[in-house]
């Protein structure tokens, strides 16, 4: 079974910790979360639910959670007017990352001046739907009271007007379309490399296309070294072949002379050298005038760049100097890289923009020049 990775974010005071406690108790009946400033992971059914903390590194944490996720959940309060600008900024990030599945959780429906009101729910939903930034996403709106466990695990009797599913049923109903590219070359961006005494180097990563099986020859990008797969592991599953969407670790019949490290690509074909790519980037801070550092498919890459134009919140084009906001940017990496257009494979087309350890933007690849 492929596990959906769900990241839950929200503004301060929207009830993320309350929801996390409810789900922890639903699963284990004996745990409690008290620290509002830590990240938590809860495994439920086929969902890995990740709660991102609301601390001073909010933007960095939010991006790091969403960059590799399948489903994004954003919690807002039923009294949300004071948070509206931050909500729209968050939707800018989600749009720039090519997120296709978004669940907007409208919490605190139990508030005295809300009282589980259908009118208030419809008012919030209508206002958010006016944002054209959300046109490229499949969106579900779920009214809840995390404090009272209303519409979280099962349907709420206090909101009988609501015709949708509970929050957990909504998450379970979302079918993430992993690219079924078994007829294409194998592509595994290396996420981690382990050293095991009995077998040596064990690279691991998610299969993005093609398939992996023992005995096949693979190319290592960018070193061009050719190696033979000895065996692979896929969690507790015992399969003879692994396909797109699965996380695998694999051993090799001979150790690579040129090494394998995070950000390398494993393929059964020689990958073409790319020169440039064009991208949507949402900057939260003004970058260096000449250079960018990006994290693309787990590789850290130094690049030169030029701004094509800025994009307004309504996706209308206008000239502008670089700064905060959404931009169309041409990027020229200083070394070899591999990417695909986000529209063709969203996991291979997303990246972060870094300044030292700070995350200052995020983007999606829209065009590639070979």
Pairing of β 276-283 and β 299-311:
unpaired
> Is pTM beyond 0.75 here?
no
Higher pLDDT, 344 or 147: 147
Which of the two residues, 27 and 320, has the higher pLDDT score? 27
The pLDDT of residue 51 is above 50: no
CA 84 to the chain's CA centroid: 22
pLDDT (0 to 100) of residue 220: 96
Q: Is the pLDDT of residue 37 over 50?
A: no
**Choice between 56 and 214, residue whose per-residue pLDDT is larger:** 214
Average pLDDT, rounded, for the chain: 80
* 258: confidence class by pLDDT, cuts 50, 70, 90: very high
How much is the pLDDT for 324?
A: 66
Q: Is pLDDT larger for residue 70 or for residue 321?
A: 70
Q: Residue 30: what pLDDT?
A: 44
Digit-coded pLDDT (tens) for 263-314:
999 999 998 888 899 998 888 777 777 789 999 999 999 999 988 887 654 4
Higher pLDDT, 351 or 136: 351
pLDDT digits (tens, 9 = 90+) for 145-171: 999 999 998 999 999 999 999 998 888
Give the pLDDT of residue 83.
67
Ranges 51-65, 142-156, 168-182: which has the least confidence: 51-65
Among the listed ranges 38-42, 46-50, 74-78, 110-114, which one has the minimum average pLDDT value?
A: 38-42
Neighbouring-strand partners of residue 49: 6, 42
* pLDDT given for residue 278 in this prediction: 94
In this prediction, residue 253 carries a pLDDT of: 94
**Residue with more model confidence, 21 or 187:** 187
Q: Show the domains of the chain with their CATH numbers.
A: 4-173 (3.40.50.300), 188-267 (2.40.30.10), 276-369 (2.40.30.10)
The neighbour count for residue 187, using CB atoms within 10 Å, is 27
Residue 192 Cα distances to 22, 206, 308, angstroms: 33, 10, 35
Segment 184-193 shows an average pLDDT of: 94
SS3 content of the chain, % helix, strand, coil (to 5): 15, 35, 45
What does the alpha-carbon distance between residue 286 and residue 322 come to, in Å, rounded to a whole number?
7
pLDDT-derived band at 244, boundaries 50, 70, 90: confident
pLDDT at 76 over 80: yes
How sure is the predictor about 225, in pLDDT bands with cuts at 50, 70 and 90? very high
pLDDT over 70 (residue 46)? no
Kind and range of the H or E run holding 361: strand 358-369
8 Å CB contact between 364 and 294: no
- What pLDDT does 35 receive? 39
Least confident of 21-25, 68-72, 154-158: 68-72
Please report the pLDDT score of residue 72 as a whole number.
81
Least confidently predicted of 53-57, 76-80, 146-150, 176-180 = 53-57
Average pLDDT over residues 50-78: 60
Q: How far apart are CA 149 and CA 140, in angstroms?
A: 19
Q: Supply 194's token pair.
A: 């382990």
């Amino acid at each position: 079974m492929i596990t959906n990775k769900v990241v839950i974010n929200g503004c301060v005071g929207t009830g993320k910790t309350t929801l996390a406690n409810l789900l922890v108790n639903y699963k284990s009946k004996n745990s409690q979360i008290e620290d509002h400033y830590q990240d938590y992971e809860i495994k439920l059914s086929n969902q890995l639910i990740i709660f991102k903390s609301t601390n001073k590194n909010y933007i960095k944490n939010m991006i790091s959670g969403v960059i590799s996720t399948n489903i994004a959940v954003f919690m807002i309060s039923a009294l949300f007017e004071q948070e509206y600008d931050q909500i729209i900024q968050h939707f800018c990030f989600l749009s720039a990352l090519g997120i296709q599945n978004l669940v907007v959780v409208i919490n605190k429906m139990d508030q005295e001046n809300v009282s589980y009101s259908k009118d208030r729910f419809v008012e919030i939903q209508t206002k958010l739907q006016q944002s054209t930034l959300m046109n490229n996403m499949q969106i579900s709106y779920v009214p809840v009271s995390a404090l009272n466990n209303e519409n979280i695990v099962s349907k709420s009797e206090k909101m009988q007007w609501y015709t949708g599913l509970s929050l957990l049923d909504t998450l379970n109903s979302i079918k993430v379309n992993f690219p079924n590219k078994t007829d294409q070359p194998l592509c595994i961006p290396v996420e981690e490399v382990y050293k095991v005494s009995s077998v040596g180097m064990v690279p691991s990563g998610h299969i993005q296309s093609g398939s992996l099986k023992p005995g096949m020859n693979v190319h290592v990008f960018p070193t061009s070294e050719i190696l033979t797969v000895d065996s692979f592991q896929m969690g507790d599953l015992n399969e003879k072949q692994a396909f797109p969407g699965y996380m695998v670790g694999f051993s090799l019949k001979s150790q690579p002379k040129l090494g394998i490290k995070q950000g390398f690509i494993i393929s059964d074909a020689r990958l073409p050298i790319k020169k440039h790519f064009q991208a949507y980037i949402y900057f939260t801070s003004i970058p260096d005038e000449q250079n960018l550092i990006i994290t693309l498919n787990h590789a850290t890459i130094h690049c030169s760049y030029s701004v094509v134009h800025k994009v307004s919140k309504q996706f209308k084009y206008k000239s502008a100097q670089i700064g905060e906001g959404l931009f169309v940017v041409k990027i020229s990496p200083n070394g070899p890289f591999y990417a695909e257009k986000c529209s063709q494979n969203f996991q291979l087309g997303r990246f972060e923009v870094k300044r030292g350890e700070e995350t200052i933007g995020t983007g999606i690849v829209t065009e590639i020049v070979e």
